[in-house]
Amino acid sequence: MPTDARLLTLTQWLSPSYPIGAFAWSHGVEQAIAEGRIADAAGLEAWLRTCLREGSGRSDAIWLRLAAGAGDVHDLDAEARAFAPSSERLAETVRQGAAFVRTTNAVWELDLPKLVLPVAVGRAVRIRALEPDAAVLLYVQAFASNLVSAALRLMPLGQTEGQQVLAALQDDIMSLEAETRGATRDDIFSNAFLSDIASMRHETLEPRLFQS
């Protein structure tokens, strides 16, 4: 883990204050709560653990690592878009990626093209010669933290319980970072079927607070 300004750059990019609009997306959590699939802290923890280890958390970690390599970023981006299981999930990663690119290009004077979020972060990591392992760890932590924050606004879950859920996922986040080292495109999969289906159903949910 870098301990100089490179770490500060990564934490800035993956901070809730970075203007990518992450607060507007629940990644299907809103639908799952509306259906009663997530009803308490234990249910939220189990749901997020599946997303991390078997779903988008894992996939995004691999897309980020691949984009931090030397491959064709446009081809990688096209494949990452094709793997999105629903139109809302695609909109989520495309719009957040566009916002990340816009801000990062302006502040660090880069020339990133429009990319989905994990690919954009990975390519920025490569350009700035940052540490991919640290980037994956912080990216996945930010992913889980954003979904905990969404749940806090949707269900009777206190701030302390929310932080307990996030703390309980630390071992999963650490394991995911280690497991995805050296991963290839052939290692991309998703077994988080209920999460994917929730994202598909969400577009007809009324009323709703989030865009996904």
Q: What is the pLDDT of residues 115-164, one digit of tens each?
A: 999 999 999 999 999 999 999 999 999 999 999 999 999 999 999 999 99
Sequence letter at residue 155: M
Residue 16 lies in a domain: no
Per-residue pLDDT, 25: 94
What is the value of pTM for the model shown? 0.95
Q: Which domain CATH number covers 141?
A: 1.10.4190.10
Q: What pLDDT band is residue 180 in, cutting at 50, 70 and 90?
A: very high
Residue 30 lies in a domain: yes
> Average pLDDT in the 84-94 region?
94
Which distant-in-sequence residues (6+ apart) come within 8 Å of 97 by Cβ?
A: 20, 114, 115, 116, 117, 118, 119, 120
Residue 207 lies in a domain: no
Helix orientation angle between 5-13 and 87-108, rounded to the nearest 10 degrees: 140
Per-residue pLDDT, 70: 85
Sequence letter at residue 112: L
Residue 9 lies in a domain: no
> Average pLDDT in the 179-198 region?
94
Residue 54 lies in a domain: yes
CA distances from 109 to 29, 54, 74, 101 (A): 35, 36, 20, 11
| Nearest by Cα to 63 from 75, 51, 48 | 75
In this structure, the number of other CB atoms found within 10 A of the CB of residue 94 comes to 18
Residue 208 lies in a domain: no
Residue 212 lies in a domain: no
Residue 6 lies in a domain: no
Per the structure, the complete domain to which residue 154 belongs is given by 25-197
Query: Could you give the number of structural domains in the chain?
Result: 1
Q: What pLDDT band is residue 37 in, cutting at 50, 70 and 90?
A: very high
Per-residue pLDDT, 3: 61
